[in-house]
Each structure stands twice: as C-alpha cells, then as structure tokens.
C-alpha cells in the first residue's frame, strides 16, 4: 500500500482525518524535549532549588505542559479535540546538565495522542525558556521528538540514543 499524507484530500487540500469508522482503543504517547541552558543558568537554578523570581521553574513548566497538551487541537488546525484520560510531565537534569522533559499522554479513543504529548513537552520547554531568559538568552531548545506510542495501527518505540 502506498503511503500518503493523511491530512490532504484527493485534490491536495487540507482535510481532517475522518475517524468515524475506527474502533476506539487505548492509546499512549511519550514525547521528549531537551533544553540546554547556559552553565551559569543551570548552576544558579540548582543553587536556588530551581526557583527564580517568577516562581518554581520546573513546577510551572509541568503545569504549562499539561495545559498545552490539553489545548493541542486549538493550536494545530487538523488535530481532533481529545479528552485526555491522563497527562504527566516529568522534568530531570541529566548527566550532561541538560533539562530533559518527558510528556506522557493517554486516552481511550479512535485517534492517537502523539501530538498532545509532543505539544506538552514543547510547551514545558518554552516555559523553561521564558522563566530563565531574564538571566540569559543563551538557551537552546535542542530537540523535541516522539519517543514511543502504543495503540492504533502500529506501535513505535525510539531508543534514547536515536
């Protein structure tokens, strides 16, 4: 079977995918964003318990990530509005002193939650940028990628090294 873009109709115009005939199933997706902060920023955050004048950086980013995941269909035109069953955002500092954000979204529905997980991780990363930019603009949102998804036509799992 030939692969094609699912959000284009036969004439090439944008079109929402019709999921009306699909069977609902449990679907989960995990996305990751990595934020690289200037070494002075990360040292300052660690010394201050990851708080700054705007408040608790990681806690605020977690809340923003969940809110972003819930608003995905408002931001991305052809995404179906989904009622998430669960959304969890976790944030850690890895051995390279990068901030690693994971967003896991799940639901029982006719369509997947990859975009919700990707949006949640991205909004959390943007929130960290916003909360730290007063100290320095030397901040890089290095990457955002889907790590894994289950449910639907096929599962996907990326290794951490990819």
Task: State pTM to two decimals.
Answer: 0.90
Q: Which of 161, 29, 150, 4 is nearest to 88 (CA)?
A: 29
* Consecutive H or E run containing 26: strand 25-37
- Specify the residue for token string 């002193």: 97
Provide the 10 A C-beta neighbour count for residue 147. Answer: 20
Contact 35, 98 (CB under 8 A): yes
Which of the residues in the chain have pLDDT under 70? 1-2, 160-162
CATH 3.40.50.10420 assigned to 25-151 = no
> 38, 74, 102, 130: which one is catalytic?
130
Active site residue 130: yes
Q: Supply the pLDDT for residue 1.
A: 60
pLDDT digits (tens, 9 = 90+) for 133-144: 988 999 999 999
Q: Where are the domains of the chain?
A: 25-151
DSSP codes, 99-153: EEEEEEEEEEESS--HHHHHHHHHHHHHHHHHHHTTT-S-EEEEEEEEEEEESSS
What pLDDT was estimated at residue 145? 97
Q: CA angle, corner 53, sides to 50 and 58, nearest 5?
A: 30
Radius of gyration for the alpha carbons in the chain, expressed in angstroms and rounded: 18
- CA separation, residue 144 to residues 100, 114, 131 (Å): 10, 12, 19
Predicted local confidence at residue 161, as pLDDT: 64
In tens, the pLDDT along 53-86 reads: 888 999 999 999 999 999 999 999 999 999 999 9
């Amino acid at each position: 079977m030939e692969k094609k873009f699912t959000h284009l109709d036969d004439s090439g115009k944008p079109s929402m995918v019709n999921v009306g005939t699909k069977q609902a199933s449990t679907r989960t997706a995990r996305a990751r964003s990595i934020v690289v902060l200037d070494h002075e920023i990360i040292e300052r955050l660690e010394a201050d318990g990851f708080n700054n004048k705007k408040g608790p950086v990681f806690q605020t980013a977690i809340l923003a990530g969940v809110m972003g995941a819930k608003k995905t269909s408002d931001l991305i035109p052809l995404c179906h509005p989904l009622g998430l069953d669960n959304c969890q955002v976790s944030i850690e500092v890895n051995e390279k002193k990068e901030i690693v954000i994971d967003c896991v979204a799940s639901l029982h529905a006719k369509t997947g939650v990859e975009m919700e997980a990707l949006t949640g991780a991205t909004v959390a990363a943007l929130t960290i940028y916003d909360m730290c930019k007063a100290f320095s603009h030397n901040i890089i949102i290095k990457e955002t990628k889907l790590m894994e998804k289950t449910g639907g036509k096929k599962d996907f799992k990326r290794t951490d090294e990819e």
